[in-house]
Structure 1
Amino acid sequence: MITYLTHYYRLGDPPFRSLSALCDAEAIAVMESLYEDNPLADRFKEPAQYMNNRRQVEHWVKNEFIAKGGEPKENYPLYAVLGYSHWLEEHLSFLELSSLRVPLTIFSHGDISFTYPDSMVTSWLGMDKESAHYQSQYHGKIFTLSDLDSLERIYGAPEDKGRTALWEGMGPYIEYIEAQIWNQQPLSDYLKTI
């Protein structure tokens, strides 16, 4: 079982920042600047629409997480990847990214949720069941710490290409399991120790 999360963030910036912490006008200004100088920032082409979609998806994830016993302490999550993203690791310098690993053991069941893959993608696929990529076992669903062992055993981890065809055709930049951190205190305590 994977025992850590990896958080990817812009080189030179502090880790674990979120657009959702900003008012819409501030978030849109940040996205507009990112869109100009980041080859992966295509999602920021329409920043107001992106922010609206993001807030809707975060609301959905939070409600589904609560229904599964989650106890979110925040209105929005901080994001990481379960294990790591092979594609992002290969492109860290090109994308001007840094990474930080965090042990899963600092979190309790009520602190963290997961989606297979990214929360926005799984939300869209969960609504578009006609998509060639839709898989009813995990798209449109939220998972918890207690689900991880069985998910990895059935589907394999994204970086474990030999175990599953799950990730084929999805695009290499989303071949990961996203983690949504809903309690910043354990993370804050951990970051003080490193």
Structure 2
Amino acid sequence: MKDLYVENAIWGRFNNPEAYLQSRKETEKWLRQAFIAKGGCPQEEYPLYMVAGTSNMLNNTPYEELSKIQVPISYFNEEDISFTYIDSMFSYQLGKDKSSKYYQPKYHRKVFLLSEIRSIFKEQGEPVEGWWGKLPSDFLPYIEAQVWNHKLIRGYLERNSYE
């Protein structure tokens, strides 16, 4: 992780690997428990992280090269995938502190099921610039998807010739 550290970049969180890993584990524990409480059936202890839809800012980040696969949302079942508004670690922390000018109680420190995220998209449309409310200017806005069944992704990649 220390080799990934870049001053003032998205990987700046790796400046203190121990603190980052502790925060990551706390967030993943919360994600899993909240997902189960809503009826999710995680097959794994931790999820694979993806982005629902697209994020132009993420696609255009100068910090790293990103690989991209597109998996139709219809490929997933309700019990296999959860969602958070913005990055789960950021959402969790905002909801934990509740004092930030960026905190939105309707969205932060909330885990959404597939049916809920579809309803939100139906009501508000797919995320576009400004859809997020207030966020720090250096933050990459997106809806994070957490896939709790790794076999689904492996199977999709094998059937669709991704390397």
Question: Structure 1 length normalisation: TM-score?
Answer: 0.75
> Structure 2 counterpart of 1:161, which letter?
E
Match of 1:161 in 2: 129
- In the aligned structure 1, how far is the partner of 2:39 from the partner of 2:110? 14
Q: Secondary structure at the match of 1:71?
A: coil
1:41: which partner in 2? 11
- Determine helix, strand or coil for the equivalent of 2:90: helix
Q: Which amino acid aligns with 1:117?
A: I
Question: Tell me, what secondary structure is at the counterpart of 2:68?
Answer: strand
Shift of residue 36 of structure 1?
5.0
Offset at residue 145 of structure 1 (A): 0.3
CA–CA distance in structure 2, aligned partners of residues 173 and 133 of structure 1: 11
Q: CA deviation at 1:189?
A: 0.8
Counterpart in 1 of 2:142? Answer: 176
1:101 aligns with: 70
| CA shift in 2, pair 1:156/1:46, >3 Å | farther
Ranges in structure 1 where 5+ consecutive residues have no aligned partner: 1-30
How far residue 38 of structure 1 moved from its aligned partner, in angstroms, is: 9.4
**In structure 2, how many angstroms separate the alpha carbons of the residues matched to 1:152 and 1:127?**
25
Structure 1 counterpart of 2:107? 138
Alignment partner, residue 148 of structure 1: 117
Q: Under a length normalisation based on structure 2, what TM-score does the superposition of the two structures give?
A: 0.88
Deviation at 1:44, TM superposition (A): 0.6
Aligned twin of 1:193: 159
Cα RMSD over matched residues? 2.0
- Give the whole-Å Cα distance in 2 for the aligned partners of 1:155 and 1:43: 32
Shift of 1:139: 0.7
Quick one: which of 57, 76, 95 aligns to 1:87? 57
Report SS of the residue matched to 2:83. Answer: strand
State the Cα distance separating 1:104 from its structure 2 match: 1.4
Measured in 1, the distance between the counterparts of 2:83 and 2:12 equals 24
Report the identity percentage. 43
Cα distance in 2, alignment partners of residues 38 and 99 from structure 1:
24
Residue of structure 2 aligned with 1:121, choices 90, 95, 99: 90
